[in-house]
Amino acid sequence: MKIDTVFDALGSTPRRKILAYLSETSLTAGEIAERFDMSKPALSKHLKVLENAGMVKSEKKGQFVHYSLADQNMLATLHSFLTTFCPVGGPLKREGAAIARARRKAT
């Protein structure tokens, strides 16, 4: 699961609202579409983005598709996010550190 897809998924107000709406109970695609006064196809697309990002899961029951949050992935994602900004970090972070070191030597 790519962290970028998660942030892209979150970078949309309608999708954040969908997530909040799903936070208490699972809902069918139709129930969500009705709540947000949005066409079903538009909603279907948002749900797919969220599902690709691993933030939502779906289960087909008869002709209905029930959507719900995939919590544990959310937490893993947030952890990954925090490690970028707070403690250890990726290559770019190390690059920044190298610049800071070079500066201390220079002055």
Enumerate binding residues for a second copy (CB under 8 A). Answer: 4, 7-8, 10-13, 16-17, 19-25, 27, 31, 35, 69, 71, 74, 78, 81-82, 84-86, 89-90, 92-97, 99-100, 103
Interface with DNA (CB under 7 A), residue total 26
Could you tell me the strand order of the sheet in which 27-28 lies?
Answer: 27-28, 64-69, 56-61
Integer CA distances (angstroms), 33 to 12, 45, 53, 87, in order: 16, 11, 20, 40
Largest Cα separation within the chain, whole Å, is 70
Please report whether residue 26 would count as binding DNA according to CB under 7 A. no
Which 37-66 positions form the footprint of DNA (CB under 7 A)?
38-49, 58, 60, 62-65
